[in-house]
Chains A and B, each alone.
Chain A
Amino acid sequence: MVAGTRPVRLGLVQHQPVLGDLQANLEWCCEKISAEVAAGTDLVVLPELSLTGYFLKDLTPETAVRLDGPELAKLIEATGRGAALVGLILESDQFNFYNAAVLISDGSVRHVHRKVYLPTYGIFDEQRHLAPGDQFLATDLPLAGGASWRVGILVCEDLWHPSSAYLLSRAGVDLLLCPSASPGRGVGSGEGELGSAGSYGAMLRTYAELFTVFAAYCNRVGFEDGFHFWGGSRLLGPDGLILAGPLDDSPGVLHAELDRGHLRRARIAFPLLRDERIDVVQRQLGLSSDD
């Protein structure tokens, strides 16, 4: 352990929201967050759209909340002195609706990530209902008695674009938080797991190892209109190995500890971040270092 810090206790809550019932989900999430914080969890992570359910279609505006609305106030109160990441539909002053993950800490909203990549193909129709976010920013989050962790958020489809994780890596993150509502597909006998689970497993491992970061994946469970959400929440260490989980597709909470010493050891063994040639990237993409 790095001097002066203690491990961070993480709780990944994979649950099944009631589709379109904002109040029921809000109540459930607040109770769960309060209980987790009271039990000593430093950071409680809930899945993508945990306040609403996923395949909302025309329910999108009906289940939206505002940053200054009563729902956020309740979540902030439930989080108390702890920290929590909650997935919700966020309405802007311009009446745009975002698939957002809101990071609450110590009495306020510390960071909001608006999902940048809105899948609109196959079973997905997000761009029909939602506005896309346009940035991947990291934030410093005091956890476990004051040690600051640099955190970035990737919501589900954001993971499928490696530039998302790359940008957060360049922003210096220690921990990727990946809330998700991934519907399962792919049941061929050649694979030992669902095709979608295999894809996420490979992406998470790649990002954790290549960017030498912790990666916490929190996927929801249950069914909506025949779609199966497969859970599989897990924590990966900065060496790419799974530290805790994966859970199965039942509701549950995965508890895990993050130790900054683990980051240090991984980055000494594999100084990939130190050696990253951002100047080469910038030159080849025709960007100046100011871009």
Chain B
Amino acid sequence: MTDLSINEELVSAIVTSFVRDEVLKVGSRGVVVAVSGGVDSALSAQIAVTALGKEAVTGLAMPYRQSSASSLEDAQLIAEQLGIELLVIEISPQIDAYFERFPDADATRRGNKMARERMSIAYDISATRSALVLGTSNKSELLLGYSTLWGDGAHALNPLGDLYKTQIYQLARHLGLPQRILEKAPSADLFEGQSDESDLGFTYAEADQILYHLIDERRPPGEIASLGLDPALVQVIWDRVRNSQFKRQPPLIAKLSGRSVGQDFRYPRDWGH
């Protein structure tokens, strides 16, 4: 096993400064973060509070009627501990109204719709507070494509996107997140009893080792198998990375003119800030 542990003090300081700098310099007053009750969003919210103060952070809990009741309780626990406002906005009415037209829709379709509904609410609330939407996707999810395109994957800033899930836990433990949050199984909570690791078919601990060698070390898949990691799983994960590349990119634009958005019109996002 390769040691993927991070220098928690250093990472904590950098991601905190990142949120403060990128929010304040564009003239925003704070952030809105969807708090699911899971470790990623709890950590993101905590970093934002350290960076900006609790008054500048708004938590959003957006349960569907089939979401686990404990998720909302955990979101409330996190908000209470951080001293932030938590808006609880039920998404059942609009989700149910929509799927009345498509009663046969499967769980994936319903889950994606919910994720996009939550994104839509987060952006709406953020506009009312001159705030930015803070993301909570970690590097494991991003690379595995384990997210909803334009759903949980849509946000203005993400302090956690370069930390593997196992590193998220390390940082969360270091920053003293509630034990209850640290101990529960990661879940997209699209339906009761769902868990990331059963959805994916492997654990984050396994995936992170393989992803580290593939992505950070740029080892060919064949070389990783020789490190004692399961060659079949290496291939599964490499395929997931390749097949989800579109999720990590802005939309493709048909190149026509001499200078085109997204291709050779290259300005930094922080242009003028």
A interface residue numbers (CB < 8 A to B): 16, 18-21, 53, 55-59, 184, 187-194, 222-226, 228, 249
A188 with B268: in contact, given A19-B273, A228-B17, A228-B18 (CB under 8 Å)? no
Tell me what chain A mostly uses at the interface: helix, strand, loop, or mixed: loop
A57 with B17: in contact, given A187-B10, A189-B3 (CB under 8 Å)? no
CB-contact partner of A189 in B7, B14, B17, under 8 A: B7
Asked if A184 and B14 make an inter-chain contact with CB atoms under 8 angstroms apart, the answer reads yes
Contact with A along B241-273 (1 / 0, CB 8 A): 000000000000000000000000111111111
Q: How far is the CB of B31 from chain A (nearest CB, A)?
A: 15
Asked if A194 and B272 make an inter-chain contact with CB atoms under 8 angstroms apart, the answer reads no
Q: Is B5 in the interface zone, CB < 8 Å from A?
A: yes
B interface residue numbers (CB < 8 A to A): 3, 5-8, 10-11, 13-14, 17-18, 21-22, 265-273
CB-contact partner of B270 in A188, A224, A228, A249, under 8 A: A224
**Residue ID in chain B nearest A249 by CB atoms:** B17
Asked if B14 and A18 make an inter-chain contact with CB atoms under 8 angstroms apart, the answer reads no
Asked if A223 and B21 make an inter-chain contact with CB atoms under 8 angstroms apart, the answer reads yes
Chain B CB count within 10 A is highest, among A16, A18, A225, A226, for A226
Rounded to whole angstroms, the CA-CA distance of A57 and B272 in the bound complex is 13
Residues of B within 8 A of A59 (CB): 267-268, 271
A57 with B268: in contact, given A184-B14, A223-B18, A228-B17 (CB under 8 Å)? yes
Asked if B267 and A57 make an inter-chain contact with CB atoms under 8 angstroms apart, the answer reads yes
Residues of A within 8 A of B14 (CB): 184, 187, 228
Q: How far is the CB of B12 from chain A (nearest CB, A)?
A: 10
Asked if B5 and A189 make an inter-chain contact with CB atoms under 8 angstroms apart, the answer reads yes
Q: How far is the CB of A19 from chain B (nearest CB, A)?
A: 5
Residues of B within 8 A of A58 (CB): 265-267
Rounded to whole angstroms, the CA-CA distance of A77 and B202 in the bound complex is 65
Asked if A224 and B268 make an inter-chain contact with CB atoms under 8 angstroms apart, the answer reads yes
Asked if A222 and B11 make an inter-chain contact with CB atoms under 8 angstroms apart, the answer reads no
User: Shortest 6 CB-CB distances between A and B: which pairs?
Assistant: A189-B5, A57-B266, A223-B21, A58-B266, A19-B270, A225-B269
Rounded to whole angstroms, the CA-CA distance of A57 and B10 in the bound complex is 28
Residues of B within 8 A of A249 (CB): 13, 17
Rounded to whole angstroms, the CA-CA distance of A272 and B14 in the bound complex is 40
Asked if A223 and B10 make an inter-chain contact with CB atoms under 8 angstroms apart, the answer reads no
Residues of B within 8 A of A225 (CB): 268-270
A190 with B268: in contact, given A18-B273, A223-B22, A249-B17 (CB under 8 Å)? no
Residues of A within 8 A of B8 (CB): 189
**Residue ID in chain A nearest B14 by CB atoms:** A228
Residues of B within 8 A of A190 (CB): 3
Q: How far is the CB of A55 from chain B (nearest CB, A)?
A: 5
Rounded to whole angstroms, the CA-CA distance of A211 and B10 in the bound complex is 32
Asked if A187 and B273 make an inter-chain contact with CB atoms under 8 angstroms apart, the answer reads no
Asked if B271 and A188 make an inter-chain contact with CB atoms under 8 angstroms apart, the answer reads no
Rounded to whole angstroms, the CA-CA distance of A17 and B156 in the bound complex is 22
CB-contact partner of B7 in A21, A56, A187, under 8 A: A187
Q: How far is the CB of B2 from chain A (nearest CB, A)?
A: 10
A18 with B7: in contact, given A58-B265, A58-B266, A226-B18 (CB under 8 Å)? no
Rounded to whole angstroms, the CA-CA distance of A225 and B26 in the bound complex is 12
**Residue ID in chain B nearest A190 by CB atoms:** B3
Asked if B10 and A21 make an inter-chain contact with CB atoms under 8 angstroms apart, the answer reads no
CB-contact partner of A193 in B6, B10, B22, under 8 A: B10
Rounded to whole angstroms, the CA-CA distance of A16 and B17 in the bound complex is 13
A20 with B10: in contact, given A223-B21, A228-B18 (CB under 8 Å)? no
Residues of A within 8 A of B268 (CB): 19-20, 55-57, 59, 224-225
Q: How far is the CB of A45 from chain B (nearest CB, A)?
A: 23
A226 with B272: in contact, given A187-B10, A189-B7 (CB under 8 Å)? no
**Residue ID in chain A nearest B21 by CB atoms:** A223
Residues of B within 8 A of A187 (CB): 6-7, 10-11, 14
Rounded to whole angstroms, the CA-CA distance of A217 and B258 in the bound complex is 41
Residues of B within 8 A of A16 (CB): 21
Complex A-B: 17 CB contacts under 8 Å: A18-B272, A19-B273, A20-B268, A20-B272, A53-B270, A58-B267, A187-B7, A187-B11, A188-B7, A189-B5, A189-B7, A190-B3, A193-B10, A224-B270, A225-B268, A225-B270, A249-B17
6 extra interchain contacts, Cβ-Cβ under 8 A, other than A20-B271, A58-B267, A223-B270?
A: A20-B272, A21-B272, A56-B268, A189-B5, A190-B3, A228-B18
